[in-house]
C-alpha cells in the first residue's frame, strides 16, 4: 500500500442533516435473539423479559425476519431512488456461539443497526467498545467496507476492546423506579460506549450516559476527540437508557426533536439555548416492541436538511414535521422495529455533502 498520497476520502460526515450521498444500511437475515443477560434486562422493556429469556440465543423467528425484510426493501428503494449510494455489511450470520478467555456467549445479535457500534466523525470511522457480549464481534461484518474506506483515505480507528468480565456487570441490578435515582447495569471497571449514544452537530457532539455507555467510555472519547470538538451531556429521565437517538434527535441546523418522557427542555445544555427543540408527539404503535422503547418513532433519518424519513403510520409526527417546515418521506418500518432500531439506528451515514462547522453558541 503506497504512503505517498492519500486519496480523497469517501468518508465525510459531520452532522445528522447535510445532504446524504452514501449510507450503510443494516441486514435482518442471520440474526439471533440476543442471549439473556443483565445488560439486556437493563434495556429491554419489562413486558418482553420472559419472551426474550425463553428465546435466548435462538435464531430470529422467520415471520419476523420476513416482515422486517419487507420494510428494509422499502427503505432501500427510497434511498436508491433518491440517488444515495447504499452499502451493506457482509452477510455474516450472528447465530453461532463464541468465547473469549473470559466468557462464553451462546449467540450474537444482528446486523440490523450499523449506527450502534460505528461512529463517523468527518473522515474518521471509529469502532466503539460495546458493553454487550452478544455484539462483541459484530463489526467483523463491516470489515470489507472498513478496508475499502481505509484504502480510499478514511482514518480507521478502534477504541480499546473491553474484556467484559463478569465483575464488569451489576448482577444485582434492578430497573430503578420512577422516583428513584438512575442506576446502571455496567460499572466503571472497563471502558464502554456505543456510537448511538452520541449525535453529531458539527463541532458539538451530544451524548447520553446509559446502560451501555459509562463515564470511562465518555472520557475516552472526549480525550480522543481533543480540541476540535465539544461534547455535551444530555440528561435523560429514562429508567433504562440506551442510545440518544430516541431521546434527542437533531434534524437541521438549530432544530431537534426531543422525547417528552426523557427530556426536560429547560434542562438541555446551554449550547442548545438558541435551538428550537420540540417535543415529539406520542408514538402510534400497534403491538409491542421487545428490544426498545416505543420512541423508535422519533428515530428518523434526514436525507438532507429538509427531507426526513418517517415511519409510515406516524401521522402525528408527520403532521408536526410538515408544520415545522420539513418534508416527511413516509416508509413502513414497524416490522423492522422488532430489531430494536428505527431509520437512524438502521443506517450509518458515510458521506454527507458538507464541512465541519459550529451550529451552537
Nearest C-alpha neighbor of 139 from the set 195, 73, 99, 58:
195
Nearest CA-CA partner of 34 in 131, 167, 158 = 131
Window 195 to 214, contacts with ligand ABU (CB under 6 A)? 196
3-state SS class at 199: strand
The yes-or-no answer on residue 243 being catalytic is yes
Four-point Cα dihedral 80, 306, 235, 290, nearest 10: -40
Q: Is 304 a catalytic residue?
A: no
- In degrees and rounded to multiples of 5, residue 86 shows phi and psi of -105, 130
Residue 9 or 131 with smaller CB distance to ligand ABU: 131
Catalytic residue among 37, 71, 197, 243: 243
Candidate ranges 23-31, 85-93, 287-295, 309-317; the one touching ligand ABU (CB under 6 A) = 287-295
Smallest gap from Cβ 210 to ligand ABU, in A, equals 9
Query: Residues 203, 356: contact at Cβ < 8 Å?
Result: yes
Looking at the DSSP assignment, which residues form a beta bridge with residue 339? Answer: none
Query: Considering beta carbons, is residue 12 or 246 the nearer one to ligand ABU?
Result: 246
Q: Looking at 204, 345, 349, 360, which residue is catalytic?
A: 345
Question: For residues 21 and 261, which CB has a smaller minimum distance to ligand ABU in the complex?
Answer: 261
Q: Is 345 in the site for ligand ABU (CB under 6 A)?
A: yes
What whole-number distance in Å separates Cα of residue 31 and Cα of residue 349?
22
Give min distance, CB of 293 to ligand ABU, in A. 4
**Which residues make Cβ contacts (< 8 Å) with residue 320, sequence separation at least 6?**
278, 280, 281
Of 291, 292, 326, 285, the residue nearest 309 (C-alpha)? 326
Query: Does residue 295 bind ligand ABU (CB under 6 A)?
Result: yes
Can residue 292 be called a binding residue for ligand ABU (CB under 6 A)? Answer: yes
Instruction: Indicate if 345 belongs to the active site.
Output: yes
Which of 198, 341, 349, 351 binds ligand ABU (CB under 6 A)? It is 341
Among the candidate windows 89-97, 138-146, 152-160, 241-249, which touches ligand ABU by CB under 6 A? 241-249
Question: Which residues would be at the binding site for ligand ABU (CB under 6 A)?
Answer: 196, 242-243, 246, 292-293, 295, 340-341, 345
* Catalytic residue set: 194, 243, 345
Amino acid at each position: 500500500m503506497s504512503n505517498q498520497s492519500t486519496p480523497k476520502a469517501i468518508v465525510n460526515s459531520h452532522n445528522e442533516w447535510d445532504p446524504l450521498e452514501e449510507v450503510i444500511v443494516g441486514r435482518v437475515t442471520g440474526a439471533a435473539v440476543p442471549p439473556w443477560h443483565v445488560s439486556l434486562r437493563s434495556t429491554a422493556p419489562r413486558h418482553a423479559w420472559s419472551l426474550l429469556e425463553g428465546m435466548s440465543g435462538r435464531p430470529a423467528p422467520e415471520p419476523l425476519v420476513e416482515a422486517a425484510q419487507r420494510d428494509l426493501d422499502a427503505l432501500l428503494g427510497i434511498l436508491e431512488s433518491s440517488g444515495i449510494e447504499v452499502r451493506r455489511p457482509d452477510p455474516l450470520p450472528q447465530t453461532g456461539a463464541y468465547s473469549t478467555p473470559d466468557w462464553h456467549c451462546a449467540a450474537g445479535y444482528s446486523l440490523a443497526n450499523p449506527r450502534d457500534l460505528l461512529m463517523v466523525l468527518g473522515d474518521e470511522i471509529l469502532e466503539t467498545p460495546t458493553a454487550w457480549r452478544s455484539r462483541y464481534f459484530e463489526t467483523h461484518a463491516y470489515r470489507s467496507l472498513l478496508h475499502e474506506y481505509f484504502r480510499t483515505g478514511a482514518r480507521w480507528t478502534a477504541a480499546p476492546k473491553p474484556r467484559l468480565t463478569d465483575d464488569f456487570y451489576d448482577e444485582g441490578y434492578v430497573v430503578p423506579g420512577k422516583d428513584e435515582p438512575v442506576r446502571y447495569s455496567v460499572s466503571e471497571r472497563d471502558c464502554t460506549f456505543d456510537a448511538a449514544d452520541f449525535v453529531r452537530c458539527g463541532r458539538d457532539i451530544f451524548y447520553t450516559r446509559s446502560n451501555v455507555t459509562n463515564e470511562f467510555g465518555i472520557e475516552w472519547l472526549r480525550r480522543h476527540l481533543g480540541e476540535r470538538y465539544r461534547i455535551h451531556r444530555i440528561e435523560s429521565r429514562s429508567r433504562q437508557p440506551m442510545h440518544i437517538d430516541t431521546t434527542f434527535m437533531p434534524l437541521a441546523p438549530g432544530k431537534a426533536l426531543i422525547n417528552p418522557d426523557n427530556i426536560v427542555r429547560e434542562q438541555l445544555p446551554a449550547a442548545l439555548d438558541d435551538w428550537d427543540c420540540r417535543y415529539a408527539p406520542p408514538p402510534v404503535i400497534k403491538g409491542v416492541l421487545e428490544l426498545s422503547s416505543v420512541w423508535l418513532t422519533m428515530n428518523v433519518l434526514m436525507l438532507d436538511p429538509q427531507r426526513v424519513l418517517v415511519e409510515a403510520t406516524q401521522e402525528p409526527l408527520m403532521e408536526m414535521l410538515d408544520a415545522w417546515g420539513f418534508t416527511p418521506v413516509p416508509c413502513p418500518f414497524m416490522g423492522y422495529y422488532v430489531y430494536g432500531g428505527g431509520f437512524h439506528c438502521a443506517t450509518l451515514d458515510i458521506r454527507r455533502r458538507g464541512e465541519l462547522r459550529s451550529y451552537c453558541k
